Structure 1
């Protein structure tokens, strides 16, 4: 990343919480809904702890969601039909709009405002949105352990993720690191929305997806993954000679 504005890291964690607003708790009261809340459908297990470790180690701001994705999905645009979880889709338009105002709009505004300040200061905003994914979905075992999601049409994103992948494979060769897997980096979400606002040479948006098998395992294994991600992210942020 030599010859370019200095990168400044901004971390977010859209699916950090499985909290339910008090006035909606009766919709989540039975055992089935409680189990759903505690599962990968309620939030990204282990993602917030990882994001906090990265934020501390790299001295970066972290913006974390405060509501379960089963109420409002903070990684979908407000006009996406699936921005509301199934348990609340029958709410009337006024109630749904209130949920967007209370949870979705503030999160997007906080992240967006910080990114804008970085760019206005003449720096490069490196936005890493920290997520996790379930090891098995609909009976399919996901082999990827770390996914780096980006827009291939944006050269800095493509180059940074290629470099980050190489670094990860060098320090942790046992990990299966893939780009744009298990999801596509151009899918609807917060980084995609910010790409529409900021030029490709000033905003780099990457979604870091980590297999929950790595984040919910033994303490030493979790620490090893966190350390590998921290060290390699720091390395790719350092300008090359």
Structure 2
């Protein structure tokens, strides 16, 4: 049974900013045909199923920047759209301390069903948004992470992540200290070695577009007020960084 569901949606399609905001893990929705993957409700609500607060921060950033936004519509435990089909953790059989019964012993056909239902439309939408853009878009993906992972407290509050292209991350980190007292770090709590930069590589590096991944510790974005303040900070960091890069580009050209 393949019940209909929305794997991806484009919000603010008429946004004029060059920034294209992407939130792969925006939702903890489990399509009915997957029966919650056999998980208890509290696990379906937990950080292993999605990135709590990330969508709300992205939406507010989109409003401030007037940016287009691409939103994942299904739990990353069904399929993690920030992973290619060949990645072992694209459909995880275990996430942190939780086994995922509905992902055990999938046949090739069952696995490819997840790819076609989730991965393919998501990345098709990103590619279309890039191809339709009148100016080279700037890829900014928004994520959140749990403050305690495998029992260890994480000190990082905001992570600015990049793969081989460091331009936008460098510029954002350069202005971070002027704008915030938060502990903002490079490639923390994850980095390229953890396989988290797939969207950046596929749509940023392959198209020579500026790109960055932002990770926010989710205890800092629980309330509306926290989400609004974080969105304001991140939007300003992106804007200032892009302005600096633009100035540097003009200087090189003169």
TM range (shorter): 0.7 to 0.9
Following superposition, the deviation at residue 26 of structure 1 comes to 5.5
**Where does residue 238 of structure 2 map in the other structure?**
233
CA contact (8 A) 2:146 2:218 kept: yes
Residue among 157, 160, 166 paired with 2:168: 160
Alignment-derived partner of residue 193 in structure 1: 202
Q: Which residue number in structure 1 is paired with residue 211 of structure 2?
A: 205
Residues 159 and 93 (structure 1), Cα distance of their counterparts in 2 relative to 1, 3 Å cut? closer
Deviations 1:21-49 (A, max 9, x none): 11111533xxx521111111000000010
**Does 2:162 match 1:150?**
yes
Cα distance in structure 2, aligned partners of 1:89 and 1:168? 43
Residue of structure 2 in register with 1:214 after alignment: 220
The corresponding residue for 1:38 is 45
The 8 Å contact of residues 54 and 143 in structure 2, kept in 1 or not, is answered as yes
Segments of 5+ residues of structure 1 without an aligned counterpart are 1-6
Cα gap change, 1:208 to 1:102, in 2 (>3 Å):
same
Conservation of the 8 A alpha-carbon contact between 1:128 and 1:205? yes
Counterpart in the other structure of 2:24? 14
TM score, norm. by length of structure 2: 0.80
> Unmatched 5+ residue regions in structure 2?
1-16, 94-101
2:78 corresponds to which of 71, 89, 93 = 71
Asked if 2 retains the 8 angstrom alpha-carbon contact of 1:185 and 1:206, the reply is no
Asked if 1 retains the 8 angstrom alpha-carbon contact of 2:56 and 2:227, the reply is: no
Distance 1:55 1:92, change over 3 A: same
Match of 1:114 among 129, 134, 141: 129
Structure showing greater relative contact order (alpha-carbon pairs closer than 8 Å, 6 or more residues apart): 1
Q: Give the counterpart of 2:103 among 83, 88, 98.
A: 88
Query: 1:154-186 CA distances to partner (integer Å, 9 max, x unpaired)?
Result: 2xxx232222123222121x2000011111146
TM-score, normalised via structure 1 length: 0.84
Query: Is the counterpart of residue 140 in structure 1 residue 152 in structure 2?
Result: yes
In the alignment, what sits opposite 2:35?
25
Cα separation, 1, equivalents of 2:226 and 2:54: 15
Q: Which residue of 1 aligns with 2:191?
A: 184
**Which residue pairs with 2:138 in the alignment?**
126
1:103 aligns with 2:149: no
RMSD: 1.9
Q: How many residues align?
A: 220
d(CA) in 2 for partners of 1:26 and 1:159?
40
Deviation at 1:124, TM superposition (A): 2.9
